[in-house]
Amino acid sequence: MRVVEIWRYPVKSLRGEQLETAEVGLSGFAGDRIRAVVDSESGVSLSAKRHGELLLCRSWTEGNEVLVGLPDGSEFPVDSPQTAAHLSSLLDRRVEVRAAAGDSRVHHEYTTDTATGGGDAMVVEASAIDAFFDGAPVHLLTTATLRELSRHEPGSSFVGARFRPNLLVDVDEDGFVEGGWVDNDMQIGEVPLHVVGHKTRCVMTTRAQGDLPKDVAVFKTVNRVNERRAGIELEPNGKGLIHIGDPVAVTQ
């Protein structure tokens, strides 16, 4: 098994960037989801679960600066007033991009209907205090899972980008392989990690993003054939680098 894609998402719920190498610490990938689009009045971070327009935008890093690309093709520094103004117009509410404070827990806006993104809004306090993670800080998906989902719904495009993993791992086995790794330890490149649970899916997998069109069959298929599960969540047990091509091993 080996790493074939590495992803980082500098701004939560925006499309991210592919990397050749990631620096990983106990809190996850350096620079991953350390900012979010937040409602200016409440300070609650917004999610593409309810606001699919966020996935029409992307974020990436150049040197020490995070940039945001908007649907009209314009690009601005993440903390610029232009970014806040364009995102506010896109979402039809006053928003800004904020960094996680590091000394207080962040709050996310979720939906009561995870299958459609509809329903009422609810606010959830996250466990992290230094990044805007929904759950564990590292998310892994295998090519076996993508192949298995494609087998059940060949008309849909099951690619890593739809599922927003940090790591896409190539495996030769068939089926939902990584589901069997829950509660085990892993070694990926220089980094030891522990698998804390399955990754449960929602409407975000169906959203239009980049070259991918809206496709509700994606979520329906995951729900139907694997109880909404696709991928696993991990917590690092050490620090180090992960490179494209690094070996991946289940160690316990």
C-alpha–C-alpha distance, residues 190 and 197, integer Å? 22
Inter-residue contact 59 to 68 (CB < 8 Å): yes
C-alpha–C-alpha distance, residues 45 and 81, integer Å? 18
* Range from 11-20, 37-46, 52-61 carrying the lowest mean pLDDT: 37-46
pLDDT of residue 111: 56
Tokens 């610029």 -> residue? 80
pLDDT of residue 122: 46
pLDDT of residue 222: 96
* Range from 62-66, 145-149, 165-169, 236-240 carrying the lowest mean pLDDT: 62-66
pLDDT of residue 114: 55
- The pTM of the full predicted model, rounded to 2 decimals, is 0.90
Indicate the pLDDT class of residue 43, thresholds 50, 70 and 90: confident
Inter-residue contact 31 to 86 (CB < 8 Å): no
What is the average per-residue pLDDT within 104-132? Answer: 55
124-145 per-position pLDDT tens digit = 455 555 677 777 899 999 999 9
175-225 per-position pLDDT tens digit = 999 999 999 999 999 999 999 999 999 888 999 998 999 999 999 999 999
pLDDT of residue 102: 59
80-89 per-position pLDDT tens digit = 999 999 999 9
C-alpha–C-alpha distance, residues 22 and 8, integer Å? 8
Q: Percentage of the chain with pLDDT > 70?
A: 88
Indicate the pLDDT class of residue 112, thresholds 50, 70 and 90: low
User: Does residue 115 surpass a pLDDT of 70?
Assistant: no
Inter-residue contact 137 to 193 (CB < 8 Å): no
* Range from 12-16, 116-120, 166-170 carrying the lowest mean pLDDT: 116-120
